Structure 1
Amino acid sequence: MKVQTKNIIISNAIPTNNGDAALVFGLADQLKRQGHNVIISTFGFSRINGIYANDYNFIKEFYDYNWLNKLKYINIFLYPFFFIFKSSFRNADLIISAPGGYINSYYGILKKVVPIIWAKCFGKKVVIYSQSIGPLNIRDKKILRFSMRFIDYVMVRDHFSHKYINEIIDDSMLHKVMRTEDAAFLLNPVTNYRKAVTEKIACISVRSWSHDERNKEAYYTMIATFTHKLIDKGYRVEFLSTCQGLNDYIDDSKVAKEIVNEYVAHAYKEKIKVNNDYYKLEELRGRLSSFDLVIGTRLHMCILSLIESIPTLNISYEVKGKECFSYLDLSDYSIDYNSDIDTAVISLNALINNRETLSEFISKKITELNIKSQEYLTNVLEK
C-alpha cells in the first residue's frame, strides 16, 4: 500500500551531536525517500542550520527562543501561536516528536509533550517515534499518562521501554504503543568491513555519567585497563566520540584527556591519540570506517560503528545500551558502566578474538534491522 505524500515536521530535534543527528537524519532521510515533505524543528537552530543547511530544511523550535524560556510556565499557553503564524506548522499533516531518549526525568518531559498536546488540539496527527521511556518520577508519570490522550502512536525502541510505559498508562491507551528499534538503524548500513592490513587501530568512546550513583573512578580505571590491553595486543588507540569539537557543548574529548593523563601508564601514551575534532555525521561515519574495533560508551557511537559492520563493545550506563545489544543478539558484548574489571576484560578479549566472524554476523544483523526499521516506519504512516 502506497503511503500518501504528507507534510511532516520532526519536532523536538536536537541534532547537535552525532548521536542525535543519526536519529533525526536517519528518520528524515527515510521519510524523504518515501516522497514526503520533511521539515526539522530544531533546538540550537543557528548552529545546526549553519552546519547542515544544504542537506535539510530546518526551522527554529518554539523553546529555542530565549525570551520564551524566560516566561517559564506561561510559555506553555503561547505555543498555539506557532500553529497560527508558522506556515510550516499550520500546513503540517503529521508531527513526529524526534527519536531519542528524552522521555525521562533526567531532562524533564513537560516541554517535550507540550508541542504534542497543542498539535493534537490543532487537528494534527501526532507520533512519538523510537523513544526510550523512563525512568520517570511520580509527576512525570502523571504528565505522560495525561499526554497519551493527545498522541496517536508512541513508538518505543526496546522491550524495557515497552513494558515500562504499559505499566504507567491506562489500559484504554495500550493500543497506541508500538515496538520499533532505534531510529539510527534507518541509516544505510555498510557491509564491507575493513580488515587490518598493517597497523591495527581501536577506537574508544567515553563519557561521564553522574546519575544512578555511578562510580567515575571505577569507570576511568576500566577504560585505562582496556587501553593498556589493546596496546599490548598491537593496537593503536584513538579516543573519539559523537559529542566533541563544538564550543559551549558537551565535549567527551575532555573526559578522554583526563583518563589518558591521570589513569593511563606513561609508557603507553605514545600509542594513543585523543581526537577532539568536530565531524558532521557522514564525516564521522567515514572516520569510523578506519577502525578495526570500537569500544563505545555512548549508545550511538556503538550503533554508528555497528552500521559500519565494525565489531563493537558497548559500555552501558543506562538500560538502553543493554536492551539494544540484546535485540541485536550481542548481549555478550555489552557490559555495565561499573562492570567488574575481570568480567569486562573477558568481554574485550572476546571482541578481539572474534573480530572477523563477529563482523560478518553484525553485517547481516544490521541489514535485517534496516529493513525492519523501514517496515515499522511505513506501518505507522499507513495507520
Structure 2
Amino acid sequence: MNKKVVTVSFIDSSNIGDQLISKTIEQELIIDYKVKNFSYKYVENDFYCKRINKKRRSWLNNVYNKYIKNIKVIHTFIAKAKWFLYYNYKLKRQDSEALRKALRETGTLIIGGGNVIFDSSKHTFSALKFAHLLDIAEEEGAEVFVCSIGIGPFQNEKQEKEAVRQLNRCKAVVLRDSLSQHYCIVNGFETAIKSVDPVFLLKAENKMSDKELPIIGICVIDYRISGASYEEYISYLNNLIRLITMLDNCSNVKIVLFSTEKEDYKTVNELGKELRDMTSVSCYTLESDKELLTMYSNFDLIIGTRMHSMIVAISQTIPIIGLSWQQKVDEMFKNINLTDNCYDIANLEDYLDEIVDKSKKIIKNNQRCVEEMDVIKKKLVDEFLIVRKEFEHFMS
C-alpha cells in the first residue's frame, strides 16, 4: 500500500475553523500517511501566515456595500464581470507542476473539509472550481476521496445539479450534514455518505475554575458576507448591542467579543467602540487555534455565528446558542439535535428576550449543560468512525 497522500484544503484560509479542519483530518484520519498539503490555489504548504495574509475590508468595499449593492442593474453587471474575469483569466490558467507531480507519485487526492461548493450569487458557478481540480487529478491518474465537506447554498437548479455531477466523479464522497446529502440524493447520487465535521473531535482543554464571574463569548460576524444589505448589517449591529446590553443588565457576567475569521474584526471593533463604556465587555483578537482553545477554556457559554466557533465549543463541551446566517449553521444544529438553541440572525430582534432567558438558565445550570454537551460530543465522535471506515475501504 502506498503510504503517501495529497490533500487539497483551505490551509491558507484566514478562518481558524478552516485551519482546524485541515489539521484535524491529518491528525484523525491520515496520521499514518506521509502527507503533501496544497491549498486550493494549488500551492504546496501554503499555510496561513498572519503577517502576509491579514486582510481588512477596503474603503471601496464599504462604499460598494453602502451605496451600490442595492442598485440591481449595477450589482448584476459587477457580479457577472467578476465571475467572467475569474473563470477565464484565473481559474482556467491555474495549474501547478508540484501538485501534478505529487498526484503522480501518490495516486491519491484527499479533498478535505469545509464548505467546498456553494454559490451565494446566481451569477457564479463554483462547481467549475471543483471540476478544475478533478480534471488535474484524472489527468495524473489519481483517485479522489472527498472528506467531510458541505455543499450549498445554491441560487438555482443548474448550480445544484452541476455540483452533484462533479461530486459523482469522485471515487468516495463523505458529507458533513444531511442537507448536503439531500442535494446529492435528489440529483441521483445516492451513494454519497453523511458523517460529521472533523473539528468536533478536538481534544477538550482543561477548563479554568478560578474565575471571578461567568464569561459569555460572543462570536461576531461581518453579516455582509452573507449578502446582507448595508441596512440589514446596521440592524444586526444594533440588535447585537441590545442583546449585549440586556445580558449585562440582568446577569452578573463578563462578555468577550471575538471572531474565528480575520475578515470580521472590523465589525468586532465597531461593536467594541459602541460598547466601550460597558466595563463587563471586552474584545479579543485571535491569531491562532491555540489562542482560541485557551480563550475557550474560560467560557461558560458561547453565542456563535461562525459555524466553527460553535463546533469548537462543542468539542470543548461548552454550551452554545447559535445565530444562523446561512444554511450550514442550521444544518449543524439539526445534526446535534439542538435546533431550539438556533435563531435566525435576520430576525434577531424578535428573539432577544428568549436568548437572554436561555443564557441565564445556561449560566445558572452550567455544569448540567456541560454534561449534556459532553454526551453530544461523544455521539459525534462515534459518527466520525464512518469517515475512517470509508477511507480504509478507499485505500484498500
Answer whether TM exceeds 0.5 for this pair. Answer: yes
Give the alignment partner of residue 329 of structure 1, picking from 331, 337, 340.
Answer: 337
- Residue pair 2:21, 2:113 contacting (<8 A) in 1 also: yes
Q: Counterpart of 1:270 in 2: which secondary structure?
A: coil
- Residue pair 2:203, 2:316 contacting (<8 A) in 1 also: no
> Aligned-pair distance for 1:22?
1.4
Q: Counterpart of 1:174 in 2: which secondary structure?
A: coil
Give the alignment partner of residue 224 of structure 1, picking from 210, 229, 241.
Answer: 241
Q: Alignment RMSD, CA only? A: 3.0
Code of the residue aligned with 1:362 in structure 2: it is M
- Residue pair 2:147, 2:173 contacting (<8 A) in 1 also: yes
- Residue pair 1:16, 1:48 contacting (<8 A) in 2 also: no
> Aligned-pair distance for 1:365?
1.8
1:285 aligns to 2:284 (yes or no): no
1:162 aligns to 2:174 (yes or no): no
Match of 1:206 in 2: 220
Match of 2:97 in 1: 82
Change (3 A) 1:212 1:49: closer
- Residue pair 1:12, 1:41 contacting (<8 A) in 2 also: yes
Code of the residue aligned with 1:335 in structure 2: it is Y
TM-score (norm 2): 0.78
1:231-242 alignment runs, 5 A limit:
231-232=248-249, 233-242=251-260
Code of the residue aligned with 1:273 in structure 2: it is S
> Aligned-pair distance for 1:194?
4.2
Distance across 2 between alignment mates of 1:39 and 1:76 = 22
1:122 aligns to 2:140 (yes or no): yes
Distance across 1 between alignment mates of 2:235 and 2:87 = 39
Match of 2:280 in 1: 271
Distance across 1 between alignment mates of 2:106 and 2:174 = 20
Distance across 1 between alignment mates of 2:321 and 2:308 = 12
- Residue pair 1:24, 1:99 contacting (<8 A) in 2 also: yes
> Aligned-pair distance for 1:364?
2.5
> Aligned-pair distance for 1:306?
1.6
Distance across 2 between alignment mates of 1:38 and 1:287 = 30
> Aligned-pair distance for 1:235?
1.1
Q: Which runs of 5+ in 1 are unaligned?
A: 52-68, 245-249
Change (3 A) 1:93 1:47: closer
Aligned length: 347
Match of 1:37 in 2: 34
Q: Counterpart of 1:239 in 2: which secondary structure?
A: strand
Q: Counterpart of 2:217 in 1: which secondary structure?
A: strand
Match of 1:25 in 2: 23
Distance across 1 between alignment mates of 2:86 and 2:318 = 47
1:373 aligns to 2:384 (yes or no): yes
> Aligned-pair distance for 1:12?
3.8
Q: For structure 1, which segment, 41-50 or 323-332, has the greater mean C-alpha deviation from structure 2 after superposition?
A: 41-50
Change (3 A) 1:156 1:287: same
Change (3 A) 1:81 1:257: closer
Q: Counterpart of 2:221 in 1: which secondary structure?
A: coil
Match of 1:247 in 2: none
> Aligned-pair distance for 1:25?
0.9
> Aligned-pair distance for 1:225?
2.5
Distance across 1 between alignment mates of 2:227 and 2:330 = 16
| Fraction of identical pairs, as percent | 20
What's the CA shift string for 1:321-345, capped at 9, x where partnerless?
1221222122222211123133433
Code of the residue aligned with 2:358 in structure 1: it is S
Distance across 1 between alignment mates of 2:369 and 2:2 = 40
Q: For structure 1, which segment, 211-220 or 252-261, has the greater mean C-alpha deviation from structure 2 after superposition?
A: 211-220
Change (3 A) 1:217 1:77: closer
Distance across 2 between alignment mates of 1:8 and 1:145 = 24
Distance across 2 between alignment mates of 1:161 and 1:194 = 37
